[in-house]
Chains A and B, each alone.
Chain A
Amino acid sequence: MPADSLPSDAQSAPASYRGSHAFCRRVLPWLPVAPIALITAIPVLVVMSALADPDQEIWQHLWQYVLPELLVNTFWLVLGVGLGVTILGVSLAWLTAACEFPGRRFFSWALLLPLALPAYVTAFVWLGLFDFSAPLPTWLRDEYGILALPPVRSRGGVILVMSLALYPYVYLTARAAFQGQGRRLMEAAQSLGLSRWQGFWRVALPMARPGIMAGLLLAIMETLADFGTVSVFNYNTFTTAIYKAWFSLFSLPAAAQLASILIFFVFVVALLEYQLRAKRSYAASTRAASTPTRIRLQGGQGLLALAWCSGVFALAFLLPVGQILDWTLDVWETDLDARYLEFAWHSLLLSGLGALLVGALALTLGYAQRLHPTPALRVTARLATLGYALPGAVLAVGIFIPVAWLDNQLIDHLGLDGQILGGTLAVMLLAYCARFLAVSFGPLESGLGRISRSVDEAAQSLGVVGAKRLVRVHLPMLRVSILTAAALTFVDIMKELPITLMTRPFGWDTLAVRVFEMTSEGEWERAALPAAAIALVGLLPILFLIRNTDHAKA
């Protein structure tokens, strides 16, 4: 593992570059970074502007009756889901990336599939299968008199279901990290006398930390911002209080104030995490990507790995999908019509364009940060990726207000007939950037961190610099990270609701919007059809991702 003590670009540049170019060098990275950061910063600031005007009565009420419970609840939820996704994601990633056992090839992509299911739909399925009145508990009660099943509507239940829904984030990013390490790392560990098990704990795992943390941070941000899943369990969190303030107490300002606190908290955590990480290098050997030899798990060990993967796959995917398909069979004849082609097309279009745009912006941001790792740029990058931690509908309002304001200015000053920004694809895509930049940035940042600076040096010594270096050296090395980022973003946009609802053009519905139409009046069975369609369409990028990452290396 080469130490990353090599000089940064600025210092290694020939002396003649310095004088007149110093100013340019300092300003240049901000040209792309500033606009990217503004895409998130503007809506976030719109939300935070509510802090100026706190509503005394509501705050006193929240403080006295609402916050104590939900702070405790949120703490346990974040801790539980954080642990859950880490254990599931890391163990599965290690097994499928570094080991060989029966079924490995299948599981390496199948374990990503839960990502394609909206978590709140999965949650509802769990409730339908395991709550008191569900068939299975009823049968156990009637046949065997078993009364004391652990209740699914509980803290444990919500943590379990969310962990099963969100572990793929960690799985994907950790897997990319393990894959990037290659054979030499473990060989080096073993040559130092470590057993495989010790090698995993003392070398592979610590070296994969940025990847794991990137996925974990995404999972935690999603947990904090989640409303749908916790609502199914009626589990009160910070986000349910935000919606309570807005929808029940009719105070959007109070909701925005609560959301601001949430954002601030996530910002601090993201900065701390980065500070811890920035102190060390995680760059892999330049030849790391050479074909790794997998650890062959023999006999019982192999079966154990198979059982673990099968168990998680069954609970996280087969079970909910089975129920969704079962419901779909009941309703497809009446509900499925030609319009579904249009819904699916819209979903594909938005997710595809969104993933491209968000991915490109995240790459720009990550690359700028790599070339110019100044504190200001790092903080800005954290700020630009905060949109993921805000409850979706709150961010949607934060986006909508400035867009509507701009539209109104245009109408008033140019004498236009109506809005030209609101309800356009462009605004929708920008809104997705504000929300999902983190989803692309996380995997890309950890991917960039794995490229040793000695690669940059070598390229430079061969005269490959600037854009050429990015295209010919870095991009090929980042392939797995780029695909990971794009696939995650694609699937997330596909499932996204509040922003899509608020910014879509008239009559322009997506599959996720169909899920909303059905679930908002409690027609969960009918929501199964669009949910199944999301899973089906969402499979495409996942399969593509795995085809392009696994086969190359396996």
Chain B
Amino acid sequence: MRKLILTALALTTLATGATAAEVVVYSARNEQLIKPLFDAYTKETGVQVKFITDKEGPLLARLKAEGRNTPADMLMTVDAGNLWQASEEGLLQPVKSKVLNDHIPTHLRDPGSEWFGLSVRARTVVYNKNKVMPGELTTYEGLASPNWKGRLCLRTSKKVYNQSLVAMMIHEYGEEKTEKVVRGWVANQATDPFPDDTKAMEAVAAGLCDATIVNTYYFGRLMEKKPNLPLGIYWPNQNLKSANAGVHVNVSGAGITKHAKHPQEAIKLLEWLSSDKAQNLYADKNMEYPANARIKPDPVVAGWGSFKQNLINVSEAGKLQAKATMLMDRVGYK
């Protein structure tokens, strides 16, 4: 028992005794996705990276409660909305870094430089190759047309990826038109919304419906496990007039906390994460796209074809998230 108490005490001191050569990260990105990167960084630079994982909501509440005494130097999330919210609540600080501005395209970082996307998560259409004719797929909005009646599967509106998608549509088309589109989706559903993207794709493959909207890495993971599923990937909104139009993208990214104890070290880590050597490790681990446009994605991912991203700044996903959620509630998107 005494040993236990000593261990506990030792852990406490570890948690508090901050040394110069370390960075502390609060991460909503999974341990298995970030630890390999942090290990590589430590190996290269000798700087220790301490991190703790949790969901975004609790991490933000935690940063807020700890205030200026927070041990965290960096906040890492898997969507832009929560980074926007962190910035909105004054939990992040602006970073002036030529390296980051160079590496990360404008639409994938905060206009106020408080956070930066590190990998791109594309939300696109996956369809059943045996049941969908070429030409039937065009845009996200197209899935709301009567042609798709009873053929659509959707993931729940409670997932932030769908909220971001609808938020970006609100920015692009306005609330009225977006509401019409989402209402159309809901009316076209073959069944109740699914708890995750994989389940929705499995339903498409099983013939319950013909198409769904998913993040590409789920498609990659599923096809890796069951390569024979009759599923195809489609890049919507490619040939529209608007210069900004394209496939909806979100980012997994990070920002430096306002009260960081090691801001310089944290910025260096952030810059390293955006660099050529780290970007593949960051994105490939989860079959995502590197945010750094110079870096090619994993060969399997590249095999799905190239596409034009929607170029609207991803911070809009955060700004309009509450509106998007309410809109989806209004039209009965469960």
Contact = CB atoms under 8 A, between A and B. Distances in A.
A126 to B, nearest CB: 12
Contact of A400 (B24, B65, B205, B221): B65
A264 interface: no
Interface string B41-64: 000000000111111111001100
Contacts of B205: 133
A401 interface: yes
Contacts of A353: 4
Nearest to A335: B32
A232 B198 CA distance: 12
Q: Is the interface of B mostly helix, strand, loop or mixed?
A: helix
A138 B206 contact: yes
Interface string A468-501: 0000000000000000000000000000001001
Contact of A506 (B14, B58, B69, B199): B14
Interface stretch (A161-169, A191-199, A418-426): A418-426
Of listed A127, A247, A396, residue having the most chain B CB within 10 A: A247
Interface string B4-45: 100010011011111000001000001111000000000000
B199 A248 contact: no
Given A66-B329, A506-B15, A132 B208 contact: yes
A307 interface: no
Interface size class of A (residues with CB under 8 A): 35 or more
A91 interface: no
Contact of A250 (B17, B85, B221, B329): B85
A505 B14 contact: yes
Contact of B55 (A232, A501, A504, A513): A501
A393 B58 contact: yes
A236 B11 CA distance: 40
A65 B14 contact: no
A231 B195 contact: yes
Interface in A200-255: 231-234, 236, 240, 243-244, 246-252
A507 B193 contact: no
A231 B329 contact: no
Contacts of B11: 423-425, 505, 508
Contacts of B191: 132, 151, 153
A472 B160 CA distance: 57
A259 to B, nearest CB: 13
Given A65-B330, A507-B50, A244 B158 contact: yes
Given A247-B56, A249-B326, A424-B8, A133 B208 contact: yes
A61 B322 CA distance: 11
A132 B208 CA distance: 7
B174 interface: no
B310 interface: no
Interface string A409-441: 001000011111011111000000000000000
Contacts of B51: 506-507
A502 interface: yes
Contacts of B193: 234
B244 interface: no
Contacts of A232: 195
A419 B69 contact: yes
B18 A418 contact: yes
A426 B4 CA distance: 12
Contacts of B16: 416-420
Interface string A356-367: 000000000000
Contacts of A508: 11
Contact of A502 (B17, B62, B78): B62
A520 interface: yes
A544 interface: no
Contacts of A419: 15-16, 66, 69, 71
Given A133-B202, A233-B195, A252 B57 contact: yes
A231 B202 contact: no
Interface string A56-67: 000001000110
A400 B61 contact: yes
Contact of B194 (A234, A247, A498): A234
Given A419-B16, A424-B12, A131 B199 contact: yes
Given A133-B205, A501-B54, A248 B4 contact: no
A498 B58 contact: yes
Contacts of A145: none
Nearest to A523: B221
Contacts of A244: 158, 325
B218 A522 contact: yes
A397 interface: yes
Interface in B197-231: 197-199, 202-203, 205-206, 208, 218, 221
Interchain residue pairs A-B with the least CB separation, the first 5 = A133-B206, A418-B16, A404-B65, A133-B202, A425-B8
Interface of A: 61, 65-66, 127, 131-133, 138, 151, 153, 231-234, 236, 240, 243-244, 246-252, 349, 353, 393, 396-397, 400-401, 404-405, 407-408, 411, 416-420, 422-426, 498, 501-502, 504-509, 513, 516-518, 520-523
16 contacts: A133-B206, A153-B194, A231-B195, A234-B158, A234-B193, A248-B158, A252-B57, A397-B65, A404-B62, A408-B66, A417-B18, A419-B16, A422-B66, A506-B24, A506-B52, A518-B32
